[in-house]
C-alpha cells in the first residue's frame, strides 16, 4: 500500500514550521492573566504594578478592546477578556505584553484582581434541577421539584432564570401506547467524563501587522475562518483586514476552535495596538486550564421490547455539561438526539437532550461530537436487553439494526447510498474470530479474566442541520504543466492536503507530481466553514472533483478540434488528453498535458477552475426532532478483547479490530491512521482519561495528571476499510475521523462485562480490585 503525504519530508526532518517556530524582528511576547475564581463578580482590576514591571510594554484588558470583548460561534458569551464576571477557572482578565516571554509571565503574577465570590454551580444534575422553579422543562423532572429546592438559587446566569442552555426534542411515534405493549422494559443510567483533547502542540499564535493595515496570523488553530471571525469581532475590523495562514498544526481533534481562535485574537489585539509582531505561546498548563473539553453527559434510558426481541419504544433524557459558555453545545446535543437510539430502528421514541450551564471549564467540539456518550449507553443497553430476553446479543442487534430503506428515529429513509452496517459487523466478527472467542469469556470466573465485546454505529456525515454546508476548490494550472490546488479544508495533520492532491490527480488523469497544494489563507479562498464533522475528505474532495469537471469541460471544448473529436469524446488519462475513437486501426489523437495547456495559452485561455460543492439538501423540524437530518451516513463496527487482573482490577486491552465504510479511500494508509488513532483515543476515554476539576478548579493541568494512552497501553490494531462509493458525494468519498473514535469505549465496556460479569455505567471504567481469598483470611 503506497503512502503519500505532501508534508512528510518536512515533518520527519524537523523543518515543518509550527506557530511557535516563527520569529519576526522586533517581536514581543505575551502571557495571559487568569482570574483564579470559579464564579465571582469582578470588583477591581489593577494592572499598574504589572505594567511597571521590567520589560513590560503594555497590559491589555477589556478596556482596550475596540470591538466585542466576548465572542462565540453561536452566542457571544466567551470572554476573550473577562470584565464584569468570572464564570470559570479558565477565564482570562488581561494580557501582559513584554520584550521577553519570561518577563511577560513574571509580570502576569503582578496583576491584582479583587472579586466578590458567587456560588459556583459545578454539579451537572444539580445545575439542571435548579431550573425546576422555572417553566419549560419536562414532566419527569417536575416530579423531583420538592427534593431539590435547595439548588433553586444556584444559577450561572441569574438573569436567565435557568441553567438550561438549550433543549432539543425528538418525538417519534406514540411512546406511551408502545410501552403499554412491551413485555420487557429496562431502565439504566449512564455518565461520562470531561475529556481533554491533548493535542501535542499547545495553542500558539504569532501575529504580524502588515504595512497595508492587514494583520497576518500564523496560529495553531484548526479553523482559519473561525479564527478570523473571532479576531475581527475583537478588533471591530472587516474580515478582509485579517489574513489567517495555514501552517502545520500539532493536532486538533475538534479542540483548536474557540480557544485557539481566542489566543490568536488576543495576540492580534496586541499586535494591532503596538504595531509590532506579537507571539502568544501557551504553556501546557494554560492550555489545559482554558481550553474547552468533550461534554460530560448524564444519560437516562428506558427501553421497551417485545418478547420476540423488537425494540418498540425508547424514552430518553440526556444532560450535557456546557460549562458557562455555549460554544457549540446546541450542535453537539443535536447530534446526540439524532443518534439517540444508536444504529437501531425504534418506531416510538421520546427524547429530550439539554445543554446545561455550569461553572466548570466549558465544553465544545471534540472528535465524536455527542456520539461517543450515546454509544457508550445504547451499545451496552442492547446487550443488557438481550440478556433479559435471553436472546443472543448479536441476534438482537440483527433484528433491530438499520438496513437499506429503513426509517430512522428522525423519520429519515436510509436510501441513496449503501447501508453497510451488516457488512461492517460481519467483517469484524470474521476477522477477530468473535464466535469462538465469545464462548471462552470468563464472566468473573478465574484470576485472569478474559472478555470480548463489540459495538457498532451509524453516523450522519458532515454538518446536517448545524449550518450552511459548502466547500470551495481552486485549480490554478500553470503554463509549464504544473498545477496549484487549494481547497477550503484545513490541514490539521489528518492528511487532507494529500487526499485533495490524490483526488485531483485521479479526476484530471494527471501525474500526482504535477500538483502542488498551495499554502492557503483566509484571503485566497472563500470561507468553506470549519474542518469538522468528518467533512474534510467528503466536502473537500467533492469540491476538487467538481472543479476538475469544470476544467476538463473547458479544455475539451477548446481542444476537441485539435483532437479531431467532439468535446464529450475527449478522455483525460495517463497525463494526456485523448481524442475520440477514429477510423479503425488508426491511432487515437493525443495531446500531452504539457501540450494541452500550451494550446490553451495560444487560444487566450487559462487552465483555471473554481467550484463550490454544495452539500445535498436536508430538512429538519426542530419542534418534533424529525427530518432528513444528514444527506448521507457511514457505518462501522469495532470489537475489543480485554484481560482483567481480578486481584488488582487492572485492565489490559489485548486486541482491537475495526471495520468502517468510507465510501472511497483515496489514501488508504491515512484512512488506517485515522482508524488506529481514533481507537486509541477511545481506549483512553474508556479506561484512563478523566479531566479532573475540584469545585470547578482545574486539577488536571499537565500530562502527569491526565493519562493519555502510551505505546505500551495500546494493543496491535486491525483496521478494515470498506468502500461502497456514495453517489451523494461528488467524489464518492465520505469520512472517517469521528466514526473511528466513537465505538471503542462501548466495545471495551461490553468486553469488560464478558470478562467480569459486571456492567460499567460510568466512564472511565475501573473494575474494583478483588482481594484474594487468602488475604481476606
Partner 1 sequence: MSLRINQREVQPTEEQASKSLLDYLRDELGLTGTKIGCRKGICGSCVVLVDEKAVRACRTPLRKLLDAEGDTQVRTIEALRAPDGALHPIQQAFIDAGAIQCGYCTPGMVMSSVALLHRNPKPTREQIRQGLAGNLCRCTGYQQIIDAVALASERMESADEGE
Binding site for partner 1 (CB under 8 A): 3, 5, 7-18, 20-21, 23, 197-202, 248-253, 281, 283-284, 492-495, 669-670, 672-673, 676-681, 702-704, 708-712, 714, 716-717
Of 19 and 232, the one with the shorter C-beta distance to partner 1 is 19
Q: Taking the CA atoms of 761, 762, 764 and 765 in sequence, report the sign of the dihedral they define.
A: negative
What single DSSP character describes residue 762? B
Of 556 and 717, the one with the shorter C-beta distance to partner 1 is 717
Least distance from partner 1 to the Cβ atom of residue 666, Å: 13
Residue 751: C-alpha distances to residues 496, 599, 746, 754 (Å):
34, 64, 9, 5
Q: Taking the CA atoms of 645, 651, 656 and 661 in sequence, report the sign of the dihedral they define.
A: positive
Least distance from partner 1 to the Cβ atom of residue 11, Å: 3
Grid cell digits, residue 588: 487515437
Of 12 and 407, the one with the shorter C-beta distance to partner 1 is 12
Of 29 and 154, the one with the shorter C-beta distance to partner 1 is 29
- 382 near 453, Cβ under 8 Å? no
* DSSP per-residue codes, 644-710: EETTT--EEEEEEEEEEE-S--SSHHHHHHHHHHHHHHHHHHHHT----EETTEE---STTSS-PPP
Instruction: Tell me how far apart the alpha carbons of residues 390 and 396 are, in angstroms, rounded to a whole number.
Output: 10
Least distance from partner 1 to the Cβ atom of residue 669, Å: 4
- 487 near 524, Cβ under 8 Å? no
Least distance from partner 1 to the Cβ atom of residue 100, Å: 10
Least distance from partner 1 to the Cβ atom of residue 246, Å: 13
Least distance from partner 1 to the Cβ atom of residue 702, Å: 5
Of 12 and 63, the one with the shorter C-beta distance to partner 1 is 12
In 3-state terms, what secondary structure has residue 630? Answer: coil
Grid cell digits, residue 731: 467524489
Least distance from partner 1 to the Cβ atom of residue 22, Å: 9
Of 380 and 494, the one with the shorter C-beta distance to partner 1 is 494
- 492 near 221, Cβ under 8 Å? no
Of 292 and 572, the one with the shorter C-beta distance to partner 1 is 292
Grid cell digits, residue 631: 444527506
Of 108 and 670, the one with the shorter C-beta distance to partner 1 is 670
Give Dmax over CA atoms of the chain in angstroms: 96
In 3-state terms, what secondary structure has residue 300? Answer: strand
Long-range pairs of 767-774 with CB within 8 A, sequence gap ≥ 24: 767/644, 767/649, 767/651, 768/649, 769/647, 769/648, 769/649, 770/646, 770/647, 770/649, 771/647, 772/647
Of 255 and 309, the one with the shorter C-beta distance to partner 1 is 255
Instruction: Tell me how far apart the alpha carbons of residues 333 and 351 are, in angstroms, rounded to a whole number.
Output: 11
Instruction: Tell me how far apart the alpha carbons of residues 222 and 361 are, in angstroms, rounded to a whole number.
Output: 20
From the CB of residue 138, how many other CB atoms can be counted at a distance below 10 Å? 13
Least distance from partner 1 to the Cβ atom of residue 493, Å: 3
Instruction: Tell me how far apart the alpha carbons of residues 310 and 649 are, in angstroms, rounded to a whole number.
Output: 36
* DSSP per-residue codes, 737-758: TTTTTSSHHHHHHHHHHHHHS-
Of 223 and 753, the one with the shorter C-beta distance to partner 1 is 223
- 767 near 758, Cβ under 8 Å? yes
Least distance from partner 1 to the Cβ atom of residue 195, Å: 12
Q: Is 173 left (phi over 0), alpha (psi -120 to 50) or beta?
A: left
Bridge partners of residue 565, in order along the sequence: none
As separate numbers, helices (DSSP H) first and strands (DSSP E) second, the chain gives: 20, 30
Least distance from partner 1 to the Cβ atom of residue 248, Å: 6
Of 694 and 710, the one with the shorter C-beta distance to partner 1 is 710
Least distance from partner 1 to the Cβ atom of residue 4, Å: 9
Least distance from partner 1 to the Cβ atom of residue 453, Å: 19
* Among 159, 148, 156, 157, residue whose Cα is nearest residue 126: 148
Of 185 and 284, the one with the shorter C-beta distance to partner 1 is 284
Least distance from partner 1 to the Cβ atom of residue 218, Å: 13
Of 680 and 729, the one with the shorter C-beta distance to partner 1 is 680
Of 540 and 696, the one with the shorter C-beta distance to partner 1 is 540
- 740 near 375, Cβ under 8 Å? no
Of 319 and 679, the one with the shorter C-beta distance to partner 1 is 679
Bridge partners of residue 355, in order along the sequence: 166, 320
Least distance from partner 1 to the Cβ atom of residue 703, Å: 4
Least distance from partner 1 to the Cβ atom of residue 531, Å: 13
- 744 near 750, Cβ under 8 Å? no
What count of residues does the chain have?
Answer: 777
Of 24 and 157, the one with the shorter C-beta distance to partner 1 is 24
Least distance from partner 1 to the Cβ atom of residue 636, Å: 16
Question: Which residue's C-alpha cell is 457508550?
Answer: 376
Instruction: Convert 589-599 to b/e letters by CB count within 10 Å (16 or more is b).
Output: eebebeebbeb
Instruction: Tell me how far apart the alpha carbons of residues 265 and 269 are, in angstroms, rounded to a whole number.
Output: 6
Grid cell digits, residue 87: 464564570
Grid cell digits, residue 304: 421497551
Least distance from partner 1 to the Cβ atom of residue 308, Å: 40
Of 17 and 210, the one with the shorter C-beta distance to partner 1 is 17
* Among 682, 649, 685, residue whose Cα is nearest residue 762: 685
Residue 718: C-alpha distances to residues 261, 659, 708, 714, 747 (Å):
36, 9, 20, 12, 14
Least distance from partner 1 to the Cβ atom of residue 400, Å: 31
Q: Taking the CA atoms of 322, 326, 332 and 334 in sequence, report the sign of the dihedral they define.
A: positive
- 505 near 543, Cβ under 8 Å? no
Of 186 and 714, the one with the shorter C-beta distance to partner 1 is 714
What single DSSP character describes residue 326? -
Amino acid at each position: 500500500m503506497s503512502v503519500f503525504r505532501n508534508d512528510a519530508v518536512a515533518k520527519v526532518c524537523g523543518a515543518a514550521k509550527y506557530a511557535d517556530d516563527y520569529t519576526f524582528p522586533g517581536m514581543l511576547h505575551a502571557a495571559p492573566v487568569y482570574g483564579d475564581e470559579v464564579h465571582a463578580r469582578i470588583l477591581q482590576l489593577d494592572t499598574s504594578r504589572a505594567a511597571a514591571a521590567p520589560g513590560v510594554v503594555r497590559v491589555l484588558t477589556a478596556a482596550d478592546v475596540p470591538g466585542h470583548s466576548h465572542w462565540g460561534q453561536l452566542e457571544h458569551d466567551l470572554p476573550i477578556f473577562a470584565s464584569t464576571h468570572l464564570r470559570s477557572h479558565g477565564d482570562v482578565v488581561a494580557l501582559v505584553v513584554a520584550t521577553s516571554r519570561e518577563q511577560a509571565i513574571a509580570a502576569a503574577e503582578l496583576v491584582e484582581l479583587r472579586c466578590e465570590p458567587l456560588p459556583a454551580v459545578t454539579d451537572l444534575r444539580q445545575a439542571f434541577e435548579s431550573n425546576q422553579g422555572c417553566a419549560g422543562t419536562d414532566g419527569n423532572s417536575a416530579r423531583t421539584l420538592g427534593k431539590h429546592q435547595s439548588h433553586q438559587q444556584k444559577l450561572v446566569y441569574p438573569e436567565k432564570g435557568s441553567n438550561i442552555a438549550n433543549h432539543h426534542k425528538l418525538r417519534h411515534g406514540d411512546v406511551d401506547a408502545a410501552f403499554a405493549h412491551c413485555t420487557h422494559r429496562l431502565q439504566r443510567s449512564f455518565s461520562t467524563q470531561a475529556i481533554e483533547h491533548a493535542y501535542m502542540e499547545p495553542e500558539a499564535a504569532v501575529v504580524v501587522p502588515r504595512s497595508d493595515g492587514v494583520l497576518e496570523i500564523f496560529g495553531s488553530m484548526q479553523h482559519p475562518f473561525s479564527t478570523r471571525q473571532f479576531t475581527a469581532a475583537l478588533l471591530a475590523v472587516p474580515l478582509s483586514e485579517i489574513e489567517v495562514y495555514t501552517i502545520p498544526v500539532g493536532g486538533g481533534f475538534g479542540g483548536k476552535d474557540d480557544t485557539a481562535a481566542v489566543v490568536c485574537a488576543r495576540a492580534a489585539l496586541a499586535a494591532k495596538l503596538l504595531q509590532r509582531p506579537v507571539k502568544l505561546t501557551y504553556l501546557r498548563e494554560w492550555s489545559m486550564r482554558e481550553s474547552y473539553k468533550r461534554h460530560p453527559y448524564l444519560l437516562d434510558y428506558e427501553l421497551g421490547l417485545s418478547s420476540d426481541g423488537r425494540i418498540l419504544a425508547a424514552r430518553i433524557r440526556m444532560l450535557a455539561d456546557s460549562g458557562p459558555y455555549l460554544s457549540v453545545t446546541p450542535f453537539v446535543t443535536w447530534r446526540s438526539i439524532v443518534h439517540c437510539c444508536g444504529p437501531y430502528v425504534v418506531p416510538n421514541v421520546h427524547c429530550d437532550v439539554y445543554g446545561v450551564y455550569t461553572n466548570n471549564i466549558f465544553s465544545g467540539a471534540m472528535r465524536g461530537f455527542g456520539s461517543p456518550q450515546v454509544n457508550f449507553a445504547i451499545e451496552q443497553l442492547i446487550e443488557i436487553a438481550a440478556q433479559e430476553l435471553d436472546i443472543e446479543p448479536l441476534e438482537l442487534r440483527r433484528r433491530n439494526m438499520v438496513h437499506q430503506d429503513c426509517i430512522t428515529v428522525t423519520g429519515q429513509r436510509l436510501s441513496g447510498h449503501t447501508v453497510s452496517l451488516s457488512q461492517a459487523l460481519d467483517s469484524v466478527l470474521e476477522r477477530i474470530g468473535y464466535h469462538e472467542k465469545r464462548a471462552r469469556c470468563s464472566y468473573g470466573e478465574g484470576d485472569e479474566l478474559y472478555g470480548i465485546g463489540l459495538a457498532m454505529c451509524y453516523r450522519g456525515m458532515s454538518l446536517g442541520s448545524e449550518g450552511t454546508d459548502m466547500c470551495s476548490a481552486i485549480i490554478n494550472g500553470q503554463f509549464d504543466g504544473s498545477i496549484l490546488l487549494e481547497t477550503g479544508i484545513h490541514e490539521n495533520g489528518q492528511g487532507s492536503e494529500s487526499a485533495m492532491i490524490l483526488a485531483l490527480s485521479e479526476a484530471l488523469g494527471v501525474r500526482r507530481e504535477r500538483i502542488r497544494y498551495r499554502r492557503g489563507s483566509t484571503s485566497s479562498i472563500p470561507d468553506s466553514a470549519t474542518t469538522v464533522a468528518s467533512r474534510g475528505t467528503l466536502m473537500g474532495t467533492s469540491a476538487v472533483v467538481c472543479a476538475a469537471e469544470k476544467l476538463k469541460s473547458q479544455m475539451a471544448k477548446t481542444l476537441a478540434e485539435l483532437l479531431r473529436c467532439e468535446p464529450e469524446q475527449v478522455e483525460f488519462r495517463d497525463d494526456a488528453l485523448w481524442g475520440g475513437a477514429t477510423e479503425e486501426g488508426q491511432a487515437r489523437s493525443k495531446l500531452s498535458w504539457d501540450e494541452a495547456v500550451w494550446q490553451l495559452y495560444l487560444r487566450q485561455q487559462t487552465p483555471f477552475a473554481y467550484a463550490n460543492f454544495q452539500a445535498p439538501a436536508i430538512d429538519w423540524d426542530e419542534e418534533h426532532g424529525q427530518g432528513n437530518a444528514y444527506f448521507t451516513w457511514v457505518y462501522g463496527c469495532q470489537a475489543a478483547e480485554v484481560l482483567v487482573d481480578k486481584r488488582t482490577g487492572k485492565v489490559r486491552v489485548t486486541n482491537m479490530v475495526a471495520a468502517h465504510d468510507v465510501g472511497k479511500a483515496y489514501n488508504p494508509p491515512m484512512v488506517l491512521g485515522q482508524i488506529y488513532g481514533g481507537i486509541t483515543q477511545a481506549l483512553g476515554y474508556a479506561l484512563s482519561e478523566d479531566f479532573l476539576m475540584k469545585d470547578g478548579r482545574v486539577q488536571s493541568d499537565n500530562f502527569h495528571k491526565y493519562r493519555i494512552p502510551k505505546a505500551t497501553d495500546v494493543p496491535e490494531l486491525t483496521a478494515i476499510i470498506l468502500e461502497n462509493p456514495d453517489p451523494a458525494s461528488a467524489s464518492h468519498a465520505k469520512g472517517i475521523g469521528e466514526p473511528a473514535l466513537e465505538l471503542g469505549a462501548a466495545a471495551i465496556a461490553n468486553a469488560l462485562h464478558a470478562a467480569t460479569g459486571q456492567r460499567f455505567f460510568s466512564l472511565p471504567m475501573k473494575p474494583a480490585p478483588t482481594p484474594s481469598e487468602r488475604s481476606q483470611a
